[in-house]
Amino acid sequence: MSNRLYVIDAISYNNDGSAMVSLTLTVKQGNNEFPRKMWLPVMDYRNQAISNPNAVDINKTLMRCLTKAISMFGLGFYIYAGEDLPEQEKIVIQKEAAQQKARYEQLIQELETSAKGGIESMKSHWLKLTPEETDIIGEENKMAIYRNIAMKNEANHEAENGRMVSGKTWESHRQQFTQGVIQRQGNNATKLPHAISL
């Protein structure tokens, strides 16, 4: 698969106050580089040059100029031909989606496994996750696993060992879990790890 990058040149202004943008798009494939330079005057909707263009005018023209440079390579031509994505790109997208799904399922399974050990086990596992991993799991999934697995296994374990506190509710478990995390972080909620507050 090729790599693409573009370099925007300095804006050039004419005596009448109009401006010209230009850039160079380079497609790299292996050790080979294929540059294409493109330029475009800053124009209005009637394709007339704008005198003293503002930042928005220049930005829009730069994006149009980049599109022209891309078209010189024939990149994305299938869009204008009314075709679907090329097969190769479809395969890449499908592989990426499959990898993301597998990663999501793995993280969920690992969190569920830790939750089977109870609240402390789940908390310990959660603290080891990266912010990216906690985002993949999601707050809703985390709380569902916490309620349906960690808290119930904790309560079952306590009941089996004759240590069930009379009247203990799921909410008291949640408060205990959250308070334990806050105390570990020095009673400063702003220092909590990403998405750990339950």
How far is the CA of 75 from the CAs of 25, 27, 114, 198, in angstroms?
12, 10, 48, 48
Of the two residues 25 and 167, the one the predictor is more confident about is 25
pLDDT for res 55 = 94
pLDDT for res 87 = 65
Q: Is 174 helix (H, G, I), strand (E, B) or coil?
A: helix
Q: What pLDDT digit, counting tens, does each position of 72-84 carry?
A: 777 665 555 555 5
> What are 39's two structure tokens?
């330029």
Return the bridge partners of 22, or none: 39
Q: Spell out where the chain has E strands.
A: 3-8, 12-13, 19-29, 32-41
Return the bridge partners of 33, or none: 28
**pLDDT(189) > 60:** no
**pLDDT(41) > 90:** yes
Task: Please state the separation of Cα 165 from the chain's center in Å.
Answer: 43
- Give the integer Cα–Cα distance in Å for 104 and 94: 15
Classify residue 140 by burial, with Cβ atoms within 10 Å: 0-12, 13-18, 19+.
exposed
